[in-house]
Chain A
Amino acid sequence: MLKKSFFTLINVFFILIFLSLKQIMAAEVPLPITPTSIACGDLNQDGYQDLAVGIRGDILIYWGNYNGNLSSYKLVAFPGTPTKIIIADINGDNKNDLVISDSENGGIKILVNQGSGDFLIHEERNSPSANDFALGYFNDDSFIDIAVANTSGGVSVLYGNGIWDLKKSTWFTPATYPIPAAGAATAIATADFNQDGRADFAVTAGDMLYILEGQEDGSFGVTTQVQTGSSPVAIGIADFNHDRILDIVVANKSSNSIGLYYGRLEGGKYDLSSPVFYQVGYSPSALSIADFNGDNYLDVAVTCEGDNTLYFLLDTGLGNFSKSIPVTTGIQPVQVIATDLNHNGKMEIITLNKISNSFTLLYDQEINAQLSFRLPSLDIKVSNNGGNPSDGPITVTTEVNNNIQIWASLDANDCHGISADVYLLLNASVDDKGKISHKTYSITSEGLTEGEAPLVTNWTGLTNIPLTCIWTMSVQDLVRTIGAGYYNITAKLVIHSPNGLTYYVSDTADFAITGRVLSNPPTIDVKVQKVIESGKTKIKTFVSVNANKAQDLPAFAYIWIECYGSYTYTTDDNTTEVDHCAYIEQYTPEGWQVLEDKCYTQDEWEDRQSPHIDPCTEWPVTDLDNCPLFDLPVSEFPSGYSCTFNVGLIIQNEGGFDYSVFDSAPF
């Protein structure tokens, strides 16, 4: 009896494990025939995402349920070969329909949802043959329209008439808008790029990306064009760099890359930056945009049909992408869609695999497992004069003793032992004769170098490094080399992974330098002579000043003497103690003033605060050559002490900042 219960328990345990595995494992769902297209949406109004897979002659409908599982398919006859499916409510009856492009017979066809799983077909007569299409509201009426990337070139817009009667052979009024490129338009996407309230198009054709902006009369015209990679086949739109302007990604099939174009909007004119290309696998075929790793940044999933892989380009939050390791799909993935099948707020990925006659379904748990590969975590900080390192921004003045320290820490995470190039880049926006000048300097083993150059090349063996000061420089030297202004220190690791992929990890800290630096500051030289006059020992002091570029600049002059001594004594309990004594006096307009004349115990000495020295006069800096200052009798100073005679100048700049120069001589 006990054994039976035990085995029952074990069986239940394994069943539970199996069921849980079923939820998290990537599933490759076989299809009976070569698939040509895929889309998801709620087709039976139950609130759950269903799947429509196009094959030649039919659409296979998989009904989804609450758990994200899919039913076996229901066949819906389709006259042709569906190459793209979009699920949307075309006729406003609150039931999602299937809008389908037919590569076999050409044109757009619509499977009109009758509810209960029944669909009736509408074949839009005279609609153009589409490589790609998008839905939207492209004129001022409230009827849905279709924008088509025409196989014969240009963009055709099918404006909805609002009469969705199956007896009618046309539901749309077509219009065609040319683009400069000869040949077929290969992909199209729609959004309001210039934020004028009207839909615009992004279209690829002939290795170019075109922006067609919507005009007031409902027509469209090319306003922007940029070069793409070779054979662009898919377009995605999102604000990747969080500047509230839409950016565009393009999958380039023949150059195995994804091009990222940052949108720019000035005076209502939408423009695109030069692309940043991310190399992915062989023959990228499709892309889908969603937040795949739950960091609230939109990422890009890219299928590569040439090497049966799926790549994730993960938005770092800085507007650039970090490329994931590739995920294996079925053979020749030609389309990819993202959807939340299981209603947990996280995206699933479905790739359509043409040769293996299947679709690969990756649940969010599986995606997270694939994306759990952690790149190194780099932290860069900045401090002033040994203060607390921070991400900044901190403000540093050009005082002579001020220094900037750069700190870095590294957590190698999953990249221990991998080689990397290290860059320390200073991006500065400095004042250059009234204009802001942008400069980039690299910190290298030879010092500061203009441009981008590595600090270390091929640093083998990434490892954890605690927060360490990696570079210090005088603020004045920095200002002399680059200038005063705003600085951004960027540490960048270019990681060469063993599988041939390159990853980029970076972090930044900010600081600002204010004030000015004298290009040729004054110098002070103090000399002391001990002489005997009339039987008395005197100290004669002399000062030399070379004004250099500070000639006639107003300066506060400081003159003071510091003497320090110590003596050892034995206490009643036979312990040896050391007392420290300080004698400090400063010269004032009223003459010499003793600031401190006191002895301290060891503990008191450690807590002692130096007295504040006041300027004795305000003096326009000028050249002095061994100018005698004072004759001071030695007897005025405590015997046995070591003394220094100090002279300093603090120059008041126009901006209210200081430049200091001091010298001292012992006696």
Chain B
Amino acid sequence: MRKREIIVPVILSLFLTFACYSYAQPISDTTGKIGIGLRVNGMTTTSDTYKGRDIDKKDQAMFGVSLSYGVNSWLSLEAAFDGSLNTKLKDNTLGIDLATINVYPLTFSAQLRYITKNPEFYNWIVPYLTFGFGYYFVSGDVSSEYKAEYYPNDVKLDFDGGWGGHVGIGTDIFASKTIAVGFEARYFWASGSIKETITNPILNASTTHKENFDLDSWMLGINIKFFFK
């Protein structure tokens, strides 16, 4: 239901964009330009369950770099790699931290850009829609609290990422032909997995439990891009 609410306005926006695209003005036209960008995002995570218990992911910042290419005045392709700061998974039922994870999305996006041809409007402001896919790498460490819970066993959590998709909306504000500052809001959905291995060191025997968990998050960020001809 949540994904549907996001996808419908995005498609509507795409339709409007295709219907209204116009000739780009020179300052914001990135046709044939390669751009690199730096960005910082706030990641607003969603909650999930693990082993039936209530798990929260603490909101965290994510830093990234991007590489873009302007195919034409209304379409730009982008590859980006981001990395989150340490994000705590908290077991709300037990009241202890489960682990600290880092999410590293490697995403590929298409931006549908709208540059007005009407000189009455600011043609250096380019709103765009973005959508794409990517692989969301996840790494993490089990918390000392969770380890203590199962002492004298040794607890190991292996995190694995997964493929996911994203949609978003943003705007680039061009200061010159080579520099733009952008704001973007995107939502991505992806699923990772946790493999829990609890080993009794005396028995040298283990019990394992594997479970998927949602990485879905909102990302709200600011970026700066440099364009080269």
Contact = CB atoms under 8 A, between A and B. Distances in A.
Interface of A: 32-33, 55-58, 74-77, 79, 112, 118, 120-121, 123, 125, 165-169
Nearest to B211: A120
Contacts of A118: 209
Contacts, number: 55
A57 B153 contact: yes
A78 to B, nearest CB: 8
A120 B149 CA distance: 14
B211 to A, nearest CB: 10
Give the interface SS of chain B, mostly helix, strand, loop or mixed.
Answer: loop
Given A56-B152, A75-B200, A77-B150, A169 B207 contact: no
B181 to A, nearest CB: 43
Contact of B207 (A32, A58, A112, A168): A58
A75 B51 contact: no
Interface of B: 49, 51-54, 92-95, 149-153, 198, 200, 202-203, 205-207, 209
B51 A121 contact: yes
Given A166-B51, A167-B52, A77 B203 contact: no
26 contacts: A33-B200, A33-B203, A57-B150, A57-B153, A58-B198, A58-B203, A58-B207, A75-B200, A76-B207, A77-B153, A77-B198, A79-B149, A79-B150, A112-B52, A118-B209, A121-B51, A123-B94, A125-B95, A166-B49, A166-B93, A167-B49, A167-B92, A167-B93, A168-B93, A169-B93, A169-B94
B50 to A, nearest CB: 10
Nearest to B151: A57
A32 B205 CA distance: 10
A32 B54 CA distance: 34
Contact of A75 (B53, B94, B152, B206): B206
A76 to B, nearest CB: 6
Nearest to A168: B93
Contacts of A125: 95
Contacts of B93: 166-169
Given A77-B150, A123-B94, 14 more contacts: A32-B203, A32-B205, A33-B202, A57-B152, A58-B207, A75-B200, A75-B205, A77-B198, A79-B149, A112-B52, A120-B52, A167-B54, A167-B92, A168-B93
Contacts of B94: 123, 169
10 closest cross-chain pairs (CB), A and B: A166-B52, A77-B198, A167-B54, A75-B207, A57-B153, A79-B149, A32-B203, A120-B52, A120-B51, A77-B207
A56 B53 CA distance: 23
A76 B51 CA distance: 14
A297 B89 CA distance: 57
Contacts of B92: 167
B168 to A, nearest CB: 31
A58 B200 contact: yes
B88 to A, nearest CB: 18
A167 B53 CA distance: 4
Contacts of B202: 32-33
A165 B150 CA distance: 22
Nearest to B49: A167
A55 B152 CA distance: 11
B94 to A, nearest CB: 6
Given A75-B205, A79-B150, A166-B93, A57 B200 contact: yes
A121 B209 CA distance: 12
